[in-house]
Amino acid sequence: MASQKHISRLSFVIVLFFYCVSCYSFSYHEDVHDYMSPLSRVYTCCIRKALLYMFQDPGFSSSLLALPFDVDSFGAKGDGKKDDTNAFKKAWKEACSSTTAAIFSVAKNKKYLVTPIRFEGPCRASLTMQISGTILASKQESKYKKNEKNWLRVEGVDNLVVKGGGVIDGNGDIWWSKSCKVNKTLALTFYKCKSLMLNNLTVQNAQKIHVTFDRCENVQVSKIQVTALENSPNTDGIHVTHTQNIRISDSVIGTGDDCISIVNGSKNVQATGITCGPGHGISIGSLGSKNSEAHVSNVKVDGAELTGTTNGVRIKTWQGGSGNASNITFQNINMKNVTNPIIIDQYYCDQAKPCKEQKSAVQIKYVTYENISGTSASKDAVIFKCSKNYPCEGVVLKGINLTQEDDGDAKAICNNVKVTYVGTVIPRCSENLVQEQSTLMISYLYLEKVSRNYFNT
């Protein structure tokens, strides 16, 4: 461990040396002002370049200056057979208690068998989880407590970077044949983490949901690959709940449930460059189950490719709920053989018995669909099943072109909603349910203003 630290420090010295060499060449061979001596110019240039590099690369201090805590140094075998949980716990305890920046390291080309574990904060300094190898969940049910809800749980850790190009494998196939509602753990959960960065990881075969952000703030997620079988139940890719200011970008997700699900308490959520399929699409909800109150606001999905999914972009709420889902934009999205490409379902009912009719509902308002094209596997490419007592408000369709996969004309079903059209829109709702561009443009302009304020677009 000490030798790794010395290597990191030596790497920093080498980088600094080459910067100074370039500064020496500039200072002695360029025509510069004489108010500083050549040596002073070299020194100033060297420091400026080093600082610039540090600011440009957020992981610089972690990769070169931080103290490493490799799980192998704490007794992990990484053979995929021995239980390495205790080694992970020991390495985390030391890394989290370090007074200087630390790296919790999982070595490349190894498989570490791990039972449920909590990586708890707060930590004393900034911390990086460098996952370069594979973390594998145990298949022994006896290793999981009866009410254990998490396999890997990161709790109360601020300024955390998780990266490394490795794999987190939930070994979920042993759970998929059982009830998806009872005694199944979430694979990777971040709870009450602030200023979190998750980059360049594969999460696969989750027991239940793959990656969960619960009560987190200021989250950056990029270059994540999520993979599970199409028939694996309740294996959402990325699940966002009670989380604010999160950006998900450049990620590929294929599961047996929602690629991305955004639920109660979440606001200022942005997803860009998403590839989705197989799965159930990109969803807001479900909201309002068991007569609960739910709020989701300021969501923007900008740039997505959905292929063969059972839904495209969806908002789903239960009867009997309350609250609202508002200021939502889906734009620049391509659909390939997608069932229900655009859908709002306020009569969502995910249970064996039919849901009884109720009057209250989550209010849906200010929703824009813009520049969405492609093919629908179903005849009804646009479905708005809104509440009779709380109709959908401020729905805008702009630049929509959806046809059936077999080249037939797609249709729209629109209940309890008035839609504003902007530009070419195919398919359209029946005329008696529609307000043309001029009559509801104020709603569209309001939504665009809100979107610009939150997402700087």
Per-residue pLDDT tens digits for 29-73: 444 444 456 666 656 666 665 655 554 554 454 455 789 999 999
Statement to judge: residues 181 and 36 lie in one domain: no
Predicted pLDDT of residue 66 = 85
Tell me: do 46 and 101 sit in the same domain: no
In angstroms, the CA 36 to CA 50 distance is 20
Q: Rounding to the nearest 10 degrees, give the CA dihedral for residues 302, 304, 309, 310.
A: 10
Handedness of CA 135, 140, 141, 147 (dihedral sign): negative
CATH code for the domain in which residue 382 is found: 2.160.20.10
Q: Please identify which of the residues 6, 210, 242, 280 carries the catalytic annotation.
A: 280
Token pair recorded at residue 251: 């990620």
One domain, residues 158 and 50: no
Choice among 4-8, 137-141, 422-426 with the minimum mean pLDDT: 4-8
Q: Identify the band that residue 453 occupies on the pLDDT scale cut at 50, 70 and 90.
A: low
Last residue in a domain, options 17, 36, 56: 56
What is the rounded distance in angstroms from the CA atom of residue 43 to the CA atom of residue 16? 11
Residue 138, phi-psi category: left (phi > 0), alpha (psi -120 to 50), beta (remainder): beta
* Alpha-carbon distances of 210 from 32, 76, 78, 257, rounded to whole Å: 57, 24, 22, 10
68 in the same domain as 21: no
CB atoms within 10 A of CB 119: 23
22 and 116: one domain? no
Q: Which tokens hold the place of 207?
A: 């027991």
| Choice between 337 and 45, residue whose per-residue pLDDT is larger | 337
**Which of 204, 164, 212 lies closest to 188, judged by CA?**
212
Domain that holds residue 147: 62-455
Domain boundary among 56, 76, 102: 56
Q: How many domains does the chain have?
A: 2
Does the N-terminal peptide bond of residue 278 adopt cis geometry, omega within 30 degrees of 0? yes
Is residue 249 domain-shared with residue 340, that is, in the same domain?
Answer: yes
Residues 33 and 78 in one domain: no
Active site (annotated) includes residue 239: no
390 and 244 together in one domain: yes
pTM of the shown model: 0.84
Q: Do 46 and 129 fall within a single domain?
A: no
Q: Which of 340-344, 353-357, 446-450 has the lowest mean pLDDT?
A: 446-450
Task: Assess whether pLDDT exceeds 50 at residue 430.
Answer: yes
Crossing angle of helices 2-29 and 38-56, in 10° steps, is 130
CA angle in degrees (0–180, nearest 5) for 391-395-396:
160
CA distance 405 to 414: 21
Confidence of residue 133 (pLDDT cuts 50, 70, 90): very high
Same-domain check for residues 50 and 187: no
Shared domain check, 294 and 375: yes
Identify any residues that bridge with 426 across adjacent strands, giving them in sequence order: 401
Name beta bridge partners: 367.
328, 395
127 and 248 share one domain: yes
Which of 254-268, 422-436, 441-455 reaches the highest mean pLDDT? 254-268
Omega before residue 286 within 30° of 0, cis: yes
Cα–Cα distance between 275 and 281 in angstroms, integer? 10
The pLDDT value recorded for residue 62 is 46
Write out the two tokens for 22.
């370039």
Domain boundary, last residue among 56, 71, 86? 56
